[in-house]
Amino acid sequence: MGTCPTAIMPLPRDNFTGVLHHWARPEVLTCTSWGAPIIWDGTFDPHIAQQEARRRNLTIGLTVFAVGRYLEKYLEHFLVSAEQHFMVGQNVVYYVFTDRPEAVPYVALGQGRLLRAKPVQRERRWQDVSMARMPTLHEALGGQLGQEADFVFCLDVDQYFTGNFGPEVLADLVAQLHAWHYRWPRWLLPYERDKRSAAALSLSEGDFYYHAAVFGGSVAALLKLTAHCATGQQLDHKRGIEALWHDESHLNKFFWLNKPTKLLSPEFCWAEEIIWRREIHHPRLLWAPKEYTLVRN
């Protein structure tokens, strides 16, 4: 499992991971069939990535949506923990999309870090809030965010950082292995199966099941990703259908058609409710308790 098969597609070298220490984690898959690294704790040197990011004087965007009751419930913990663990020592710009910019909590930011609160409309259904992120992100990436950031990470707000989440995660197109599903056989993965949907994958399609709570990449790659997902959602809407897991279904379709150039192990977005697994050495982000009755309509 630990060795990297010959890449079948040449991947752009990102220089952030240095030489991956596949041998350090022989018990897990550290490379995809198309040659993209799957980074696990111990397989990369965080200092190499930090130096590379500093040398290039990068600015990294972090987008998060906090609409309706998600703002009070999750945003402060998310931001405070990000200040401790997300891209420490780098230039960071937070984009907080919310229906109440004036209610964004004050959080002391480190040097080289700033926060922009961006107003968005509040959709009635939580599914629509979740899906509306794709067109909103697309617009932002085509505007100020795309101009000031080199790489952008797009995260759910209902989670918090518990460990270093640094430039080792950077690459042109980054996907997160879903903590619930990374050990499941392909045919069981919860892809959209209705052929009428733009997000549909057949039983013989799909590489991994990716979590929409974390994705990232270069501005150019994310412009393409968000356009694909927003268009797919719109097509489905016109047909009066909605994919099983909303934006996540469309994201999975996109990653099937456009292979991510780096995958994050489930350590990068872990759920404490899952029974502890030996391969999970160092969780970087944890899902906050899901109190849907409190935050959803």
* Interacting residues with ligand UDP (CB under 6 A): 64-68, 70, 126, 129-130, 156-158, 213, 290
Summarize the chain as % helix, strand, coil (round to 5).
Answer: 35, 20, 50
Question: Which residues touch 86 (CB under 8 Å, ≥6 apart)?
Answer: 62, 92, 161, 165, 166
Provide φ and ψ at 286, rounded to 5°: -125, 140
41 DSSP assignment: T
- Out of ligand UDP, Mn ion, none, which partner does residue 277 contact, by CB within 5 to 8 A per kind? none
Which residue in the list 242, 248, 272, 279 is annotated as catalytic?
248
Unique residue bearing structure tokens 């700033």: 114
Task: Decide if 248 is catalytic.
Answer: yes
- Nearer to Mn ion by C-beta: 52 or 158? 158
Provide φ and ψ at 132, rounded to 5°: -65, -15
Q: How far is the CB of 271 from Mn ion (least distance, A)?
A: 10
- Asked if 158 touches Mn ion (CB under 5 A), the answer is yes
- Asked if 247 touches Mn ion (CB under 5 A), the answer is no
Q: How far is the CB of 67 from ligand UDP (least distance, A)?
A: 4
Q: How far is the CB of 128 from ligand UDP (least distance, A)?
A: 8
**DSSP characters for 139-196?**
HHHTTHHHHH-SEEEEE-SSEEE-S-B-GGG-SSEEEEE-TTTTTS-GGGS-----TT
Chain centroid to CA 197: 23
Q: How far is the CB of 129 from ligand UDP (least distance, A)?
A: 4
- Nearer to ligand UDP by C-beta: 85 or 296? 296
- Asked if 41 touches Mn ion (CB under 5 A), the answer is no
- Out of Mn ion, ligand UDP, none, which partner does residue 67 contact, by CB within 5 to 8 A per kind? ligand UDP
Stretch that binds Mn ion, among 85-93, 119-127, 208-216, 262-270 (CB under 5 A): 208-216
Q: Which residues pair with 177 in a beta bridge?
A: 210
Q: Is 124 exposed, middle or buried (0-12, 13-18, 19+ CB in 10 A)?
A: exposed
- Nearer to Mn ion by C-beta: 87 or 213? 213
Query: Which residues have a catalytic role annotated?
Result: 248
Name the residues that contact Mn ion, by CB under 5 A: 156, 158, 213
